[in-house]
Structure 1
């Protein structure tokens, strides 16, 4: 059983029809739905939604095959009516950025119905129920809605996660639903309750797909998950005990997955076949038996890459791939989204790497020629004049040479001149900056910087570009950039990014031009969907220089700290000399004064004795002056010692002295 991987919200939606793989549905950058027939390699149908510019298509999913009534037909015979009725892929669900879902019918070639009013944010993913006429959608508003296509209304709406729902997948039996936000959750569709939870991706999960059809009450149910900016596909096992901590298998990729197609495994003896188209345009084919955990990441059994037939081959990106019934046949869609090339190829699975060379230009030219019905060539008259398109004022005087005039007189009047002859007749000798140039004659407008800039970008002439980019006047730069046509904006930015990597003097001038381009053409640049990939070199260069700027600022701060410390130490050393003369002198007392007092009787090392010593010193000074007697000193010392709690000790000392 083949399971289509659908499309994620990362790239442009692109998916093959189920079972027969007869159609390829693709939403291009202009918002139009194009359905290509893979058998005839032609455009089958094209549908333009009413709000395709404001509410672009974000995801596509084919509905299950069903019996389709294709308008009025002749009555079939009984022998034809008794035969089996063929089921075809008809309905196609498209989620939009406005929150509505469009159901398109390929049998009618028109819109079947519109499902709106359910989501308040953009729809990221849509998935069909395999049996019933039910549709599930996940949105930026963190909700999942179950739609009934018979009534066109919601049957159930519930909150799935704290963040937006980025991917959905319904089990082959229609009983389980996988949803991914911050966490992968498995829901029971009957009760709308969480059956299991799986954690392991650090970025938004963009791909979910069941790998086996075994029931969930055994250890044989597996599913795949892929995330943005992740180069692995993880395989998870739904166990009976509910202990699903880590993924059991990992498939190694070269870039994040964009499109997945697989054949599910019905038993342990049957291998799962997987085809993954990555963001870099390569196809990886895997074949693995899902029978438990595998420690090492698995490498692809075969990698397919496409390139052109030029002297320097350019890689051709693959858009989608579909596995065939046999192991070697693969349906490929490659090239441009506006007109993809579909081809069924046989790949040698024994080779690790297969490179297919194709000439896409001739293939597209064949398709274009078949679509053109009638072409009428204009009649050229000898008396008629031909107006050649060009820039206004960009003209030069035409002076027919003598040789060319003689040839035309000899019988070539009725023959149209070639481009080489016309260029030879243009006399550029008169185009000069000399003062002796003839007045009134037209000349090349070499003073117009916008004209020179366009010429330099188209011809990649370094001399012309150097002359234009050497100007430093902001007014001239702004006027030149404002007159620049829109198709020349991206080549202008690419040229600026190349020159920014050169000499610093050149980079200073290029920054002014880059600033002017971003200021004048922001609206045009914001309308480009793949601007990030086109300006990747510029982004990378700016980020690397910003990182280096942070390191330089840290180094500058450390050096500034060291220089300020050195300056402070020098200023402290060169300060005013300190005056070493004493402001206060302490003189020790004589032995007689010490013996006269009772200082030695009091205990040392007590904070309370400082006051007593000061008082005794004052009293000794009074004795020297003859104002206080010795008896009064003893009485004062006793009263103070009683207040300090040392009365007993001093009584003993007094008795000893007596």
Structure 2
């Protein structure tokens, strides 16, 4: 039975029926599926490296028989014992898409896109058909067909965002919650009933009975954000169902809910509710009509550690077992939850279970974490405290060691009164009379300013210190930083790394210096995973995005070079055929007399014949002028003329 606590909390869901798996989306954005039997990590999947596509809600699909590849033929006795397993898991993302993950394949089954504009808040599977319903911030519900991977229908629900969905056990009705709770007929997509009573967004909707709505026996319950009540509603035939009939009191806002439905009036509804304060409330009630008095839980379960000052351990999820006392619990941290099946005595109103989370984690994670042998410490060995070189931290040793001190130590620790007595404030402020060997008060030290800025959260001081570019100043400042200020500095750097890229360039230098100087101290912290989970996921997403950007940069560079070469080739202009300089010869008297008529036409194809005619005219003119020439010369000139024509040809 899928249960999600809305978009404000991290989703954590047990698989239906056998409760074999626990699906958890942690702070680092990864989906982890834990095996509840072996208490080990079964599978791990990163939905998307981009921060805008983080998982907002998850829901297990109905159990089904899955083919796991070629197997031997089973006997008839074994064929009847085939169990249905929880395989498909739907994840809604902040980008508006829905991811379907398969635990049998260990990979993504399909992606449902194009249905929502806003982030997905809730997902609900159809119990019988291969359909999926998703509600989003865009106030719409989308019905997905998983066989085709496309949306089947889409309709607007309310003016506000759709925050919760639930399908009836027979698959005919759908509950949706925005500002009001509406019951839809899935065949006609029309409103069947309306329920009003919550002033805030409804985050939980569950059907409590499997009876048909005709006999006034259909009940469902709802829980809202910032509300310490669970309301139970009855679907009546006459439509007079404006108010809730039963209410359950809680200590805080409900985060996770698991119930066993009632099939008839003589059977009670069993309910397990995990609140935001980390407590578990168990209820058992017969739904036979209205009850005026709010019902308190029959038993409340709380977890705590076994230290001198016990601190509460938050419960993440709970699932009711077949017996009345058996409860499956998941508690601790989302990154490494501890899964345990306990027997709760319902006769006691309040039960407090003490557990050692660190030993439970080491036992459950010994197969996944690298096996490291702890060294055997001798009594005479010297313990080196992580931190700065030369840093002397107070060590809790035996009483004999504290009484014995070295008498030969040259360094004497002075009291505060002696230090103040030796300081001449007038000489320090004026800068005169201070010998070179003595230390003066340094109020302008970057380490002091950084500690003051982290404690007071003054943005002006932090900007002044963190915007330095000198590597030596950054290294010295981080080296002089006290150990309690290392984690606040990492949190401040994580916030600034998520901002403008120009600011992130400066923060990377500080982060590098912190990791170089204080890695040993950070490794000694027990709860480092929760505090640095956001930083780790952000660095991993930036690195994955960097590879894509380098590929894109190479393609763009190749494209730009091709465009530049094409532009350079096109830049060569056409050859200008107009003459830059024209030289004209001096014309003779005959050409001046003849004018343009004697010049050969460029367009004429018989320019050789025209030249020959001009030469003939010249010769006849000369013969007329010289009468001594004989006719034989004329014949010779004709032969020469033919010879000239052949040469010209």
TM-score (norm 1): 0.63
CA distance in 2 between counterparts of 1:424 and 1:61 reads: 69
**Corresponding residue number in structure 1 for 2:496:** 523
Within the candidate set 220, 244, 262, 2:241 is matched to 244
Q: Structure 1, residues 2-33: CA drift from partner, whole Å, max 9, x if none?
A: x4434422310001000000100000011100
Which has the larger displacement, 208-217 or 50-59? 50-59
Q: Secondary structure at the match of 1:217?
A: helix
Superposed, 1:231-310 pairs within 5 Å as: 231-310=228-307
- 1:173 aligns to what SS in structure 2? coil
Residues 1:444 and 1:148: Cα distance change in structure 2 (over 3 Å): farther
Unaligned runs of 5+ in 1: 379-386, 398-417, 458-464, 496-515, 532-658
Say if 1:395 and 1:346 are closer, same or farther in 2 by CA, change over 3 A: closer
Indicate which of 182, 190, 193 corresponds to 1:193. 190
Secondary structure at 1:20 match in 2: coil
* Corresponding residue number in structure 2 for 1:333: 330
**Structure 1 residue aligned with 2:131, among 118, 129, 134?**
134
**Structure 2 Cα separation of the partners of residues 489 and 183 of structure 1:** 53
Q: Distance in 1 between matches of 2:226 and 2:483?
A: 26
Paired residues for 1:81-480 under 5 Å: 82-373=79-370, 375=372, 428=411, 449=445, 451=447, 478-479=464-465
Per-residue CA deviations over 1:169-220 (Å, capped at 9, x if unaligned) read: 0000100000000110000001110000000000000000000000011210
In structure 2, what is the Cα distance between the partners aligned to 1:336 and 1:287? 29
Q: CA deviation at 1:448?
A: 7.4
Counterpart Cα distance in 1 of 2:324 and 2:13: 20
Q: What displacement does 1:449 show?
A: 4.8
Question: Is the CA contact 1:224–1:234 (under 8 Å) kept in the aligned structure 2?
Answer: yes
Q: CA shift at 1:250, angstroms?
A: 0.4
Q: 1:301 offset after TM fit, Å? A: 0.5
| SS of corresponding position for 1:155 | strand
CA distance 1:263–1:481, change in 2 (3 Å) = farther
Distance 2:328 2:272 in 1: 11
Tell me how far apart the structure 2 counterparts of residues 154 and 181 of structure 1 sit (CA, whole Å): 21
In the superposition, relative to structure 1, how do residues 136 and 448 fare at CA in structure 2: closer, same or farther (>3 Å)?
Answer: same
Sort the Cα spacing of 1:130 and 1:396 in 2 relative to 1 into closer, same or farther, 3 A.
Answer: closer
Partner Cα separation in structure 2 for residue 264 and residue 25 of structure 1? 23
Equivalence for 1:26: 24
Shift, 1:264, TM fit = 0.4
> Counterparts in 2 of 1:480-499, with a 5 A limit?
none
* Contact 2:209-2:220 at 8 Å conserved across structures: yes
Of structures 1 and 2, the one scoring higher in RCO (CA 8 A, sep 6+) is 2
Equivalent of 1:68, from 48, 66, 69? 66
Q: Is the 1:232–1:252 contact (alpha carbons within 8 Å) kept by the matching residues of 2? A: yes
Whole-angstrom distance in 1 between the partners of 2:98 and 2:273: 27
Residues 246-266 of structure 1, C-alpha deviations (whole Å, 9 max, x = no match):
000000000010000000001
Partners in 1 of 2:409 and 2:440 — Cα distance? 12
Question: Which 10-residue stretch deviates more, 365-374 or 36-45?
Answer: 365-374
Deviations 1:60-91 (A, max 9, x none): 00000000112344x13435654332110000
CA distance in 2, matches of 1:289, 1:363: 38
Q: Is the 8 A contact 1:24 1:36 kept in 2?
A: yes
Query: For 2:391 and 2:350, how far apart are their aligned partners in 1?
Result: 56
Residues 445 and 149 of structure 1: is their aligned pair in 2 closer, same or farther, counting only changes over 3 Å? farther
- Structure 2 residue runs of 5 or longer lacking an equivalent are 376-383, 393-400, 424-433, 469-473, 501-529, 532-649
Partner of 2:15: 17
Q: Distance in 2 between matches of 1:115 and 1:189?
A: 20
Q: Which residue matches 2:35?
A: 37
Question: Contact between 1:10 and 1:258, CA under 8 Å: does it hold in 2?
Answer: no
Determine helix, strand or coil for the equivalent of 2:23: strand
2:380 matched residue in structure 1: none
Q: Distance in 1 between matches of 2:296 and 2:5?
A: 23
Residues 1:343 and 1:450: Cα distance change in structure 2 (over 3 Å): farther
Distance 1:122 1:490 in 2: 40
Query: Any conservation in 2 of the 1:169–1:209 contact (CA below 8 Å)?
Result: yes
Aligned residues: 461
8 Å Cα contact 2:175-2:184 kept in structure 1 = yes
Preserved contact between residue 121 and residue 136 of structure 2 (Cα < 8 Å): yes
RMSD: 4.3
- Do the aligned residues in 2 keep the contact of 1:32 with 1:52 (CA within 8 Å)? no
C-alpha separation in 2, matches of 1:108 and 1:423? 67
Classify the secondary structure of the residue corresponding to 2:215: coil
